[in-house]
Chain A
Amino acid sequence: MTPQRKIFLGVAAWVTVITAAHMATNVDWKVLLNDRLPESERKLNVAYIPVT
């Protein structure tokens, strides 16, 4: 394997891992999927702040 190919594969693997980690930790899938449901079936998004 050429050095260029090694570097390319290493960068690609790194980008894949970071992207997967970002999507797992920073994307709220529950909200994304809920927003795609028909309006009548959608759960209500309720905002709050951490005060009683």
Chain B
Amino acid sequence: MTDYISAYSKSGHLFIPRMFQGFPEIKEALISNKMQAAFMVAPMAIALRAQGVPIKIVYLGHRYGSAVVVRKDGPVKTFADLKGRVIAVPSRFSDERLIVFKTLAEHGMSAKDIRMVEMAPPDVAGALAAGAIDAFSMGEPYPSQAEMAGFGRVLFHARQYWPDYISCVLVVREDVIEKRPEAVQVLVDGIARSGLWLDNPDQPRRRARREHAADFVGRFYYRQDPRLLKWALTNPLDRVQYQPLTPLRKDFELIVNLMRQTDVLDRNIAFEEYVDPRFAEGAKTKTEWRYEPGDAIAQ
């Protein structure tokens, strides 16, 4: 989205977005310097850093936007009904897995009560429809896909059990941070401005902008039906939020604690070791893009 709007700005494209189908491939591309930055799930970024991969989290991609989905006409009516059933998550290093553990604990249940399987995000809706899984915990637009198609029902949104839930973060290679901090700042500023643009406080304007974003992101970036993204971004309007995107210590310490409890992180890791907050600080004074659908230029 930032790329699309910035293409209409005086500075032109700021970066080259490259679509991947899974996080393991992104990890390899970062290590080999094929990619200098990436959006990935927060626990994976922390785990990579703990393993010595030279990356730092510099900003968030969004807030909320993950949900646990079950079959609409299936036997699972409450969270407790998931006992003994199969639930798919995108990766063992994902917030979508951690929210399931967090919710299990709040219902007096444990990981032994369900069977968790890893599945590529594009496959989960089909697997749920076919009855191969009983539920999935996934980021948008896959919960929306199951809802729109009529076979899925959101059992709960992540924010119901995790009020400050975050999922995707922006990571940048450390050598790029050291050698080209101004380029990283331009990238973070663009994301901040896009977030403010999408979360405009005027509700009709926010809806119109989200519908426009769904159209161009669906067609030019995600290669998905724009109606699907429109559903995810507007049903309701706060289903996915783009503010605040500054990485906060308390949010990440909760993630690290949950990772430790669920055995995907073998040591404690300090916030400063995996987050570089200076770019988020630099973006705090930014204002939304001055761009409306059909404008010839963005400022």
A residues lining the B interface (CB < 8 Å): 30-31, 34, 39-40, 43-52
Query: In chain B, residues 166-192, which have Cβ atoms closer than 8 Å to a Cβ of chain A?
Result: 167-168, 172, 176, 179-180, 183-184, 187
Q: Identify the closest chain B residue to A48 (Cβ).
A: B39
- B17 adjacent to A30 (CB under 8 Å): no
- A45 adjacent to B19 (CB under 8 Å): no
Against A, the Cβ 8 Å flags (1 = close, 0 = not) of B230-250 are 001000000010000000000
Please tell me if B133 contacts chain A, counting CB pairs below 8 Å.
no
Measured between alpha carbons, how far is A50 from B214 in the docked complex, in Å?
A: 12
Total A-B contacts with CB atoms under 8 angstroms apart: 92
- A50 adjacent to B15 (CB under 8 Å): no
Please tell me if B37 contacts chain A, counting CB pairs below 8 Å.
yes
- Chain A residues with CB under 8 Å of B15's CB are 43-46
Interface size, B (range): 35 or more
A38 CB to closest chain B CB, in angstroms?
A: 12
- Chain A residues with CB under 8 Å of B232's CB are 52
Measured between alpha carbons, how far is A49 from B142 in the docked complex, in Å?
A: 12
Please tell me if B223 contacts chain A, counting CB pairs below 8 Å.
yes
- B29 adjacent to A47 (CB under 8 Å): yes
- Chain B residues with CB under 8 Å of A51's CB are 90, 121, 138-142, 168
Measured between alpha carbons, how far is A50 from B21 in the docked complex, in Å?
A: 7
- A44 adjacent to B187 (CB under 8 Å): yes
B9 CB to closest chain A CB, in angstroms?
A: 14
Measured between alpha carbons, how far is A39 from B168 in the docked complex, in Å?
A: 27
- B179 adjacent to A39 (CB under 8 Å): yes
Please tell me if B222 contacts chain A, counting CB pairs below 8 Å.
yes
Can you identify 20 A-B contacts, CB atoms within 8 angstroms?
A: A44-B15, A44-B37, A44-B176, A45-B16, A45-B18, A45-B37, A46-B17, A47-B19, A47-B29, A48-B221, A49-B19, A49-B26, A49-B39, A50-B19, A50-B222, A51-B138, A51-B168, A52-B139, A52-B167, A52-B240
Measured between alpha carbons, how far is A51 from B121 in the docked complex, in Å?
A: 8
